Amino acid sequence: MLNTLIAVSLAYVAALFLVAFYAERLASRGRGAWLRSPIVYTLSLSVYCTAWTFYGAVGSAARAGLEFLAIYMGPTLVLIGWWWVLRKIVRIGRSQKITSIADLISSRYGKSNSIAVIVTIMAVIGTTPYIALQLQSVTLSFNTFLVESDASSGLYDAQSTAFWVALGLAFFTILFGTRNLDANERHHGVVTAIALEAVVKLVALVAVGVFVVWQVMGGVSETFAAIDASEINMWNRDAGRWTGILFVSAAAFIALPRMFQVMVVEIDDEKHLATASWAFPIYVMLMSLFVVPIAVAGLQMFPNGANPDLFVLTVPLAHGWNSLAMFAFIGGFSAATSMVIVAAIALSTMVSNHVVMPIWLKWSSRDLSVAGDVRQIVLISRRLSIAGILALGYFYLQLTGGGAALAAIGLISFAGVAQFLPAMIGGIFWRAANRHGALLGLITGFSVWAFTLFLPSFGPDALISKEIIEEGLFGLSWLRPNALFGINGLDSLVHALVWSISLNTLVFVLVSLVTFPNPMERLQGAQFVNVYDHSVEASSWSKGRAETEDLLLMSQRIVGANEAQKIFRAESERQGMLGYLPDTTPGFIQRLERELAGSVGAATAHAMIAQIVGRSSVSVDDLMRVADETAQIMEYSSQLEAKSDELARSARQLTEANEKLTNMSVQKDAFLSQISHELRTPMTSIRAFSEILESEGGLTDLDRAKYAGIIHGETLRLTHLLDDLLDLSVLENGQVKLNITQGNVADIIDQAISATHFSKDQLRIARNRADEDFAVTTDIDRLSQVVINLITNAAKYCENDAPQLEISVRSVDELLTLDFIDNGKGVPTALQDEIFEKFSRASDRAAGAGLGLAICREVMANLGGQITYLPGQSGAGFRVTLPAT
């Protein structure tokens, strides 16, 4: 029978290999959609049900009543609440290409490798005994058959069974778990094999259960009667422990490395969670359905002494159902192997990504683009890690020698990984959670767990001395492992859970509150907490220094040539380029980092890219650049503003010019009617008087002379007007001939005053002749024409009872200025611009063609000087400037 068992086991293992191989082949060819179905996903979650639960649940039921149910109910709670927590973890896992739970936590806290290392170490410490437990269960179950068949030869002793099982598992795991460094880190072969094992173990347990209920007990009602009659009825009624187990199993379901591997890393589609949310609870419910009947049957059959952990095997065996027992053995074997395989993959990923690779990177500080094949190194380190982890489990089993201490390790291990929970849940729901808080919280929780639960579990004087257990650390009674801070009488698991989780959470929260996260952490925190908000994009790489070709070379070494080229090609297309070398935009480097993270973990990928790009995180420089960009934008907008101001000014000037033109046009019209009037008036009188002279007889000589005088005067006026117009026209066209001579300003003014010969009543002229003694080289006649004009204007327009004109002459900076200021009302501001225009008249008070000032302006312009209106004086003020000689 033993040989049959070995043959069946080997055949089963061979079948597993075939299934894994076939699935791997299908997946690599892109076929086999069923491999990615929600049912396979749900079944793969069954790595939760290990040999410990397969055999141990019955044992636990026989010893402690319904406690085992709580271990299955915890995961049920997590799954039916998937929308809350699991969905978010899975979404984060997919968007950040998370490879393990250590990767998740370290990514969240700024890709800190120290956190990853701590989590990895904790996971290894928590999982190794668990692997040992699986090896032990296979050994024990195998030995059951050994005893039955009396073949106690040296070949089949317990140690060698464990050894061969460990070796075979290592081989399988290495073969299918490190087959490729997939960017998605999925192992279709392994997952399919696990799903098959899930079916086998469920069917095996249900088969034994059906056998017990209907064959051994004789029906359902009889079974319940037997249950109520059995000693299990006296189940351990400890509400605290019951709730504690519910909690710790729920926590472990999320935080166990192997669960994280199948649930988050290997998931193909987020929608699978929706199916698993009800399908997996059905699975675990079926797993636990027949546990109590089997335990009761076992207790009935073996009243004293027999190991209740093996009832699943011994009950069918005792009834002579050897094939069923063998099937049950295969079921237990499945449970053990699937757990070991997935745990080894998960742990090896963590160890190689967070311990080996960083050390290797540091050790080989060479340029990554020319260094050896990283891909190969990652694979080798994974394979070695798998072998190492299984060896660790095997030696652990050898050292502790198995037994009850090991059986208790299941819940202890759960409590250990539950320490990840505060950092994990806090990290995805609380943005302010930071690295220091997570690190210290993890260390605190882990230390308390080790001190109160893990170390004492080996018994006194095994790992910690008896004195410490009985009298407390350093002899302080409030530091006893079973009664921390004086809390006595609690169940040791509950005691350890309460203290480790609460202190862990407390330290995590308090430290997070008082310390400050670095920019990388804050970016990652925002991405994790707001993972449903796709717009959040952390930019952590600066453009420029990364050489695309180096990046391509490095990527090829990590994800393989084809995959790397595909990524680069896609990026080229995205950028609208041909070929394989896209621009190294920050966005591209970030996407590339994610892809690489899928193979070697976030922290390592980040460090590797940092070696090539040269910048490893969000630095002050990055923030400064962001600030610079802002400054540039602001500068640009201020330039725009200036431009628009300029435009507004031009527009205003144009408007002014337009107004002036309109005004002038109006004035011109006014002038035309004025000049018509001016011309008409003398013409009318000339015509009238000349008609009188012509037709009327009997005029006296006196009258005739008088009329002729009027005609003559009017003709002079007309001539004068026409002269002015002609003069202006000549001046404007620059055709004037200047007669430049030497002269004296005082003489010129004297001459002008005498030419105007106004009486003192008409205009009093105030001047200081002594101050006017300046020599000037100019056209004297023209200059005096200007002065005459100004004096005449003052006489004409000054509105004062005693009109007065003050003339002052100065020489400033090579310029001679002559100011003419009267004591009238001055020129209204609105008209000051226009008075120098032709035909412009400031008032209608005196008749005039409005040409005087226009002529003055033209004359001065021809003389190389100018005439301006001088505002802010007692009356109208004009300033004539001309270059001094």
Partner 1 sequence: MDEKKRLPVFLERSSYRRRRARDASRVLPVLSLFLFAYPGLWALDGENGIVLSDALYFLFAVWCIAIIVAAILSRYLSEPVIGEHELSDLKAGE
Distance of closest approach, residue 279 Cβ to partner 1, in angstroms? 8
| Residues with Cβ within 8 Å of residue 244, at least 6 apart in sequence | 491, 493, 494, 497, 498
Decide if 465 contacts 513 (C-beta within 8 A).
Answer: no
Binding segment (CB under 8 A) for partner 1, from list 148-156, 278-286, 348-356, 602-610: 278-286
Decide if 2 contacts 151 (C-beta within 8 A).
Answer: yes
391: tokens are 């060896």
Distance of closest approach, residue 46 Cβ to partner 1, in angstroms? 16
By CB under 8 A, tell whether 430 contacts partner 1. no
AA identity, residue 553: L
Distance of closest approach, residue 65 Cβ to partner 1, in angstroms? 7
By CB under 8 A, tell whether 228 contacts partner 1. yes
Binding segment (CB under 8 A) for partner 1, from list 12-20, 234-242, 458-466, 844-852: 234-242
H-only helix segments in 601-744: 602-613, 620-695, 701-732
By CB under 8 A, tell whether 625 contacts partner 1. no
Looking at the Cβ atoms of 78 and 140, the one nearer to partner 1 is 78
Closest CA to 187 of 341, 49, 357, 335: 341
Q: Of residues 289, 318, 384, 693, which one binds partner 1 by CB under 8 A?
A: 289
DSSP for 802-870 reads S-EEEEEEEEETTEEEEEEEESS----HHHHTTTTSTT--S-SSS---S-HHHHHHHHHHHTT-EEEE-
Closest CA to 145 of 3, 344, 306: 3
Looking at the Cβ atoms of 205 and 344, the one nearer to partner 1 is 205
Find the binding residues for partner 1 in span 774-793 (CB under 8 A).
none
| Residues with Cβ within 8 Å of residue 530, at least 6 apart in sequence | 536
Distance CA(217)–CA(225), nearest Å, equals 10
By CB under 8 A, tell whether 737 contacts partner 1. no
Decide if 179 contacts 560 (C-beta within 8 A).
Answer: no
Apex 170 CA angle, 168 and 176, nearest 5: 100
DSSP strand pairing (764-767 vs 804-812): parallel
154: tokens are 């040296």
Distance CA(423)–CA(89), nearest Å, equals 13
Distance of closest approach, residue 37 Cβ to partner 1, in angstroms? 14
Distance of closest approach, residue 227 Cβ to partner 1, in angstroms? 5
By CB under 8 A, tell whether 478 contacts partner 1. no
Distance CA(611)–CA(589), nearest Å, equals 13
Binding segment (CB under 8 A) for partner 1, from list 25-33, 228-236, 385-393, 567-575: 228-236
Closest CA to 108 of 537, 436, 435, 508: 435
AA identity, residue 221: S
Binding segment (CB under 8 A) for partner 1, from list 174-182, 281-289, 348-356, 383-391: 281-289
By CB under 8 A, tell whether 243 contacts partner 1. yes
By CB under 8 A, tell whether 281 contacts partner 1. yes
Looking at the Cβ atoms of 148 and 238, the one nearer to partner 1 is 238
Find the binding residues for partner 1 in span 65-94 (CB under 8 A).
65-66, 69-70, 73, 76-84
Binding segment (CB under 8 A) for partner 1, from list 362-370, 437-445, 526-534, 626-634: 526-534
Q: Of residues 175, 227, 371, 487, which one binds partner 1 by CB under 8 A?
A: 227
Binding segment (CB under 8 A) for partner 1, from list 120-128, 227-235, 512-520, 852-860: 227-235
Binding segment (CB under 8 A) for partner 1, from list 5-13, 252-260, 270-278, 804-812: 270-278
Looking at the Cβ atoms of 534 and 760, the one nearer to partner 1 is 534
Distance of closest approach, residue 431 Cβ to partner 1, in angstroms? 16
Residue position matching structure tokens 């437990």: 133
Looking at the Cβ atoms of 91 and 569, the one nearer to partner 1 is 91
Binding segment (CB under 8 A) for partner 1, from list 22-30, 268-276, 326-334, 338-346: 268-276
Binding segment (CB under 8 A) for partner 1, from list 209-217, 241-249, 650-658, 808-816: 241-249
By CB under 8 A, tell whether 534 contacts partner 1. yes
Looking at the Cβ atoms of 131 and 531, the one nearer to partner 1 is 531
By CB under 8 A, tell whether 489 contacts partner 1. no
Looking at the Cβ atoms of 244 and 402, the one nearer to partner 1 is 244
Looking at the Cβ atoms of 478 and 532, the one nearer to partner 1 is 532
Looking at the Cβ atoms of 164 and 278, the one nearer to partner 1 is 278
Binding-residue total with partner 1 (CB under 8 A): 41
By CB under 8 A, tell whether 537 contacts partner 1. no
CA separation, residue 45 to residues 48, 94, 259 (Å): 6, 17, 7
DSSP state of 230: S
By CB under 8 A, tell whether 533 contacts partner 1. yes
> How many residues appear in the chain?
885
DSSP for 137-192 reads HHHHHHHHHHHHHT---GGG-HHHHHHHHHHHHHHHHHHHHSS---TT---HHHHH
| Residues with Cβ within 8 Å of residue 52, at least 6 apart in sequence | 130, 133, 134, 137, 407, 410
| Residues with Cβ within 8 Å of residue 545, at least 6 apart in sequence | 613, 614, 615
Distance of closest approach, residue 284 Cβ to partner 1, in angstroms? 9
Distance of closest approach, residue 195 Cβ to partner 1, in angstroms? 20
Q: What backbone torsions phi and psi does residue 738 show, to the nearest 5 degrees?
A: -95, 145
Looking at the Cβ atoms of 288 and 784, the one nearer to partner 1 is 288
Distance of closest approach, residue 131 Cβ to partner 1, in angstroms? 29
Distance of closest approach, residue 66 Cβ to partner 1, in angstroms? 6
By CB under 8 A, tell whether 292 contacts partner 1. yes
| Sheet containing 804-812, strands listed edge to edge, beginning at the edge strand earlier in sequence | 764-767, 804-812, 815-822, 877-883, 866-869
Distance of closest approach, residue 408 Cβ to partner 1, in angstroms? 21
Decide if 588 contacts 540 (C-beta within 8 A).
Answer: no
Distance of closest approach, residue 39 Cβ to partner 1, in angstroms? 14
| Residue 472 CB neighbours (<10 A) | 17
By CB under 8 A, tell whether 219 contacts partner 1. no
SS3 label, residue 333: helix
Find the binding residues for partner 1 in span 41-70 (CB under 8 A).
65-66, 69-70
By CB under 8 A, tell whether 222 contacts partner 1. no
Distance CA(321)–CA(207), nearest Å, equals 12
By CB under 8 A, tell whether 271 contacts partner 1. yes
Q: Of residues 15, 282, 626, 666, which one binds partner 1 by CB under 8 A?
A: 282
Distance of closest approach, residue 533 Cβ to partner 1, in angstroms? 6
Q: Of residues 90, 117, 140, 246, which one binds partner 1 by CB under 8 A?
A: 246
Closest CA to 340 of 166, 180, 205: 166
Q: What backbone torsions phi and psi does residue 778 show, to the nearest 5 degrees?
A: -165, -175
449: tokens are 């767990």
Q: Of residues 148, 157, 182, 238, which one binds partner 1 by CB under 8 A?
A: 238
Q: Of residues 22, 224, 458, 774, which one binds partner 1 by CB under 8 A?
A: 224
The residues of the shown chain that bind partner 1, judged by CB under 8 A, are 65-66, 69-70, 73, 76-84, 224, 227-228, 230, 232-233, 235, 237-240, 242-243, 246, 271, 274-275, 277-278, 281-282, 285, 289, 292, 532-534
